[in-house]
């Protein structure tokens, strides 16, 4: 896999990783499934020195706002504040909670209640905005959210080879599905589990459906009743893609894992140092690298592409 020689690749145990990749190929395509996070894993973290939005914070800078918001803009403040003040609070939440989410020095027990608090407050703010189902496509079209370079080969290779792709996201399902749809890669082998909006008959957001999925409960507890992994029990070779320590448990519900390759994107590099608004107070990549290298087999640093994943898939999916 020549892509493993890229400068962005870090591997703690190269021999072990080569062994897993060889075994995945030997086991064959019929045994393979891919489990992936969405935001900042399949979607880009940054572009032209700016952060790309997650499926939540796509709403921060959107002109697609509630009737209240539109009335505000009619009053003349559309250029200076193109969204109602509650939208600004979403940003405030991000600045407060995101450093907590990625802090390697806090335990999961400390983080979990704070994540529930973040998601609950953010969802309440979105409900207050009376988001309309029909506006989501425009919102996505006008946003800077985008899939990583090489996404088409990634989705198409898996589809062509009938390899199931399970996207397990703590983002907003309605938004991320639209991003994938607009990229024309929402193939029949893709299954998404995420936080979904619940709209009334007029298409206005009323609630978020249960269970609430946040960064640190992406495991079997929120998959009860889906039977997804049970139906794929013969697929015992797993490629897991994530960008946070919470993503490491995404495959826990798979009944029998024989071989698993964990690939992690270590983002947050190559962007302006603090006081960049979102990075203020964040621990830098150097401080997080050690934990990522222990947890993920392959760590990709400042890599906005799916090149390495595609290279590995090409190798595994090629007939021997």
Ligand X SMILES: Nc1ccn([C@@H]2O[C@H](COP(=O)(O)O)[C@@H](O)[C@H]2O)c(=O)n1
Contacts with ligand X, residue ranges (CB under 6 A): 37-40, 54, 56-57, 93-94, 98, 101, 118-119, 122, 169-171, 215, 244
Q: Closest CB to ligand X among 64 and 241?
A: 241
- Concatenate the DSSP letters of all residues of the chain into one string: -GGGGSTTEE-S-HHHHHHHHHHHHHH-GGGEEEEE--TTTTB-SEETTEEPP-TTGGGTT-S---HHHHHHIIIIITTT--S-HHHHHHHHHHHHHHHHHT-TTS-HHHHHHHHHHHHHHHHHHHHHTT-BGGGHHHHHHTS---BPBTHHHHHHHHHHTT--EEEEEEEEHHHHHHHHHHTT---TTEEEEEE-EEE-TTSBEEEEPSSP--GGG-SGGGTTTT-HHHHTTT--EEEEEESSGGGGGTTTT-S--SEEEEEEEE---SSPPTTSTTTTTPPPHHHHHHHHHHH-SEEEES--B-HHHHHHHHHHHS--
Least CB distance to ligand X at residue 93 (A): 6
Least CB distance to ligand X at residue 241 (A): 11
Q: Closest CB to ligand X among 21 and 241?
A: 241
Least CB distance to ligand X at residue 121 (A): 8
Q: Closest CB to ligand X among 21 and 102?
A: 102
**Catalytic residue set:** 37, 39
Q: Closest CB to ligand X among 99 and 150?
A: 99
Least CB distance to ligand X at residue 101 (A): 5
């Amino acid at each position: 896999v020549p892509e493993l020689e890229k400068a962005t690749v870090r591997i703690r145990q190269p021999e072990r990783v080569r062994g897993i990749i060889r075994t995945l190929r030997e086991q064959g395509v019929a045994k393979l499934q891919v489990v992936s996070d969405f935001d900042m894993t399949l979607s880009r973290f940054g572009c032209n020195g700016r952060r790309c939005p997650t499926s939540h914070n796509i709403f921060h800078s959107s002109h697609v706002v509630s009737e209240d918001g539109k009335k505000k803009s009619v009053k003349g403040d559309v250029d200076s504040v193109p969204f109602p003040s509650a939208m600004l609070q979403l940003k405030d939440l991000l600045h407060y909670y995101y450093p907590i989410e990625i802090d390697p020095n806090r335990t999961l027990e400390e983080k979990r209640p704070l994540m529930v608090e973040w998601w609950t407050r953010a969802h309440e703010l979105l409900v207050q905005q009376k988001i309309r189902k029909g506006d989501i496509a425009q919102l996505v079209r006008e946003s800077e959210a985008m899939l990583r370079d090489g996404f088409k080969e990634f989705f198409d290779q898996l589809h062509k080879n009938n390899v199931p792709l399970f996207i397990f996201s703590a983002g907003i399902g309605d938004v991320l599905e639209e991003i994938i749809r607009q990229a024309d890669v929402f193939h029949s082998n893709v299954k998404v589990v995420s936080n979904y909006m619940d709209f009334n008959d007029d298409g206005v957001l009323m609630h978020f459906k249960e269970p609430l999925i946040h960064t640190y409960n992406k495991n079997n507890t929120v998959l009860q009743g889906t039977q997804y992994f049970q139906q794929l029990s013969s697929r015992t070779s797993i490629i897991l893609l994530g960008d946070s320590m919470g993503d490491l448990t995404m495959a826990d519900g798979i009944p029998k894992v024989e071989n698993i390759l964990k690939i992690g994107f270590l983002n947050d590099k190559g962007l302006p140092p603090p006081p960049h608004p979102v990075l203020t107070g964040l621990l830098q990549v150097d401080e997080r690298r050690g934990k990522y290298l222990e947890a993920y087999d392959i760590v990709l640093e400042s890599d906005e592409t799916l090149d390495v994943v595609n290279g590995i898939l090409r190798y595994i999916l090629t007939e021997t």
